[in-house]
Structure 1
Amino acid sequence: MDHQHVFVCGNPALDFAATLRARRSVRFEMFVTPDRLDAWYVECGLVDTITPADKGDVEQAKALREAIYELVTARRLGQEYGGEALTVLNGVARKPSTSPQLTPTGRQTEATPDQALSTVARHAVELLSGPDVPLMKECGNPECTRVYVDRSRGMRRQWCGMESCGNKIKAAAYRARKKSAPTVAAR
């Protein structure tokens, strides 16, 4: 399976919220088909195998994703939670979640799309009620709308990830400096 999803946020719920990218500008949707949603659950490591999702599962996943993003943004900005977003999150979190099984070769987690989604919702509940709340930051790239958990020393991390945003910003800043640097005339 070729990996098309990126996991840089430090929490599955934040990575899930980031599957709608560049929300302030182009809005790039990662869950375009049910198989992209299935791939996310497997690539994230929440499940080993999943019953294939359908269009309805994708719509439910998008609804949960938007609720998580809204709640994370509210918590980050010190605002009240929206009632509808809370209802969506708690409704999904109430459903049965994934349950890992021990096999002779190690752990195996099989799930339905509903169970996988519930697991994401429970991660969001834990995140938003836990010790990582003060560590949540939005990426410093103005085009990026990912929120991540900053566990760096002194909370100095600026970007969701060096590969995804840090290198782009640094390269752009370097080009801007080169362009504005006065040229030294040869004597």
Structure 2
Amino acid sequence: MLSPASLAEWTRAAGLLDETPEFTARDLAEAVEVREAVYRTVWARLEDRPPTEADVDLLNAHATRPRLVPTLLPDGSTRREGTLSGLLATLAADLLDLLGDPDFGRIKRCANTDCTRLYIDSSRGGNRQWCGMSECGNRAKVKAFRRRHREPH
């Protein structure tokens, strides 16, 4: 179940923010709205159809806001802090950059039919099948192994 705390955890795990503010239920709803618009827009592009006007308006509105800005610390490391508005602006602007990038054609959907994740296939041969080996890829390999070992030779 999504919660403001899960939004905070995601921002840290994704490396978007080093420290997160206390997100509210309203913040979570706004983040989910942007996430879903991103997802629908990428799918529209993958299916060679235009995105909805509402998604275009929402993503453009967020992309024009001030983005997250990394800070260089005296020890040479960097720190990323900011607000939900800056986070969503960064995500929307990054999506707009990705839509115009030649690598957009490398975006794929996970081969696991139960998974809805999209990923950029950066493998040398462009033949990656799963969003990640630690989850979907491993499950598929275990399933195939069990199937091979159940069948008589």
Question: 1:1-187 counterparts in 2 under 5 A?
Answer: 32-105=2-75, 106-182=77-153
Calculate the TM-score normalised by the size of structure 2.
0.92
Structure 1: gaps of 5 or more residues: 1-28, 183-187
Q: As a proportion of its length, which structure holds more helix?
A: 2
Structure 2: gaps of 5 or more residues: none
**What secondary structure, in the 3-state scheme, does the structure 2 residue paired with 1:109 have?**
strand
**What secondary structure, in the 3-state scheme, does the structure 2 residue paired with 1:39 have?**
helix
Shift of residue 54 of structure 1?
0.7
Q: Number of aligned residue pairs: give it.
A: 152
- 8 Å CA contact 1:100–1:110 kept in 2: the answer is yes
Aligned-residue RMSD, C-alpha:
1.4
Shift of residue 88 of structure 1?
1.3
In 2, the alpha carbon distance for the partners of 1:161 and 1:50 equals 26
Question: In structure 1, what residue type is equivalent to 2:69?
Answer: S
**Sequence identity (%):** 36
Between the two structures, name the one with larger relative contact order (CA 8 Å, sep ≥ 6): 1
Would you identify which runs of 4 or more consecutive aligned residues in structure 1 move more than 3 Å? Answer: none
Shift of residue 157 of structure 1?
0.6
